[in-house]
Amino acid sequence: MSVVVPAARPVLELTDVRVTFGSGRSATPVLRGVDASIHAGKTLGIVGESGSGKSTMAKAIVGLVKPNAGTIAFQGRDVTAMSGAERRRMRRDVQMVPQDPYSSLNPRRTIGQTLAEAIDPLRANPKEHAQKISYWLSTIRLDPDVAERYPHEFSGGQRQRIAIARALAVQPKLIIADEITSALDLSVQAEILNLIGRLRKELDLTMAFISHDLDVVHHVSDEILVLFHGEVVERGDVDAVYGNPRHPYTRRLIDSVPGGPGFDIGERRLAEV
């Protein structure tokens, strides 16, 4: 007699999520019935051009935007029904790595202070958490001695690494990476993508990776969700979607990649982390 093992519940599940900005004649639908899910240890790539609803989807997940309809369940709990205090507590479990590496770090805090605050908001003392700070800096391939330095002393790529370390230091259940390579040049993009690839394996990360660049998403994701004017037009296994796109919009995104289908991101990978 075979035993049926129930499928694991997704860490994150969106069901028919709709977001509209404004009301009446000025109402603008931004998300139109979005369904999505992310299981533990997996990365969902969310791709679409500017205005497709990607960032609104990310903000809805962390509770910064309230859907007009639908549900967002994080670890089985409906985010849209949480109180403000519950949502604030949830945000430690759902960490965002922002797009802009230059404005995401407090210029008045050392890197050690920034990481200490992430590790323990109540006792953000770098000396007390020196071992953990060193660990996370080493994990992103920065010398632990940089903990004494300030953000302005780092390049954009280094700042983005630090932003990633800050998110990881909280030990979240879900990371949302929102266009984290778009402000970087190609060689630095390569370093960050290689870093993400390594961390996914070493730390078994659960992630939503948001980008307008389908080729980038292809190389860091397990599954892809394609947004077009707020609607999911295609989703599935990353290689299946990239290798055999069914929707014209997805094909257009692939055709816009330098070299077309099969373009090797190795051209970006000019330096290994």
**C-alpha gyration radius of the chain:** 19
pLDDT at residue number 272? 40
Query: Is the pTM above the cut of 0.85?
Result: yes
Q: What is the pLDDT of residues 15-42, one digit of tens each?
A: 999 999 998 888 999 999 999 999 999 9
Q: What is the DSSP letter of 247?
A: S
CA dist., res. 270 & res. 103, Å (int): 26
- Whether 103 has a pLDDT exceeding 50, the answer reads yes
- Whether 211 has a pLDDT exceeding 60, the answer reads yes
CATH number of 12-100+208-262: 3.40.50.300
Phi and psi, residue 271, nearest 5° = -150, 130
Q: What is the pLDDT of residues 159-203, one digit of tens each?
A: 999 999 999 999 999 999 999 998 888 889 989 999 999 999 999
pLDDT classification of 1: cutoffs 50, 70, 90: low
Q: What is the mean pLDDT of the chain?
A: 89
Give 248: exposed, middle or buried? Use CB within 10 Å, 0-12, 13-18, 19+: exposed
Q: What is the pLDDT of residues 43-94, one digit of tens each?
A: 999 999 988 999 999 999 988 899 999 999 999 999 888 888 888 888 889 9
For the chain, which residues make up each domain, given as ranges?
A: 12-100+208-262
pLDDT at residue number 63? 84
pLDDT classification of 123: cutoffs 50, 70, 90: confident
CA dist., res. 138 & res. 141, Å (int): 5
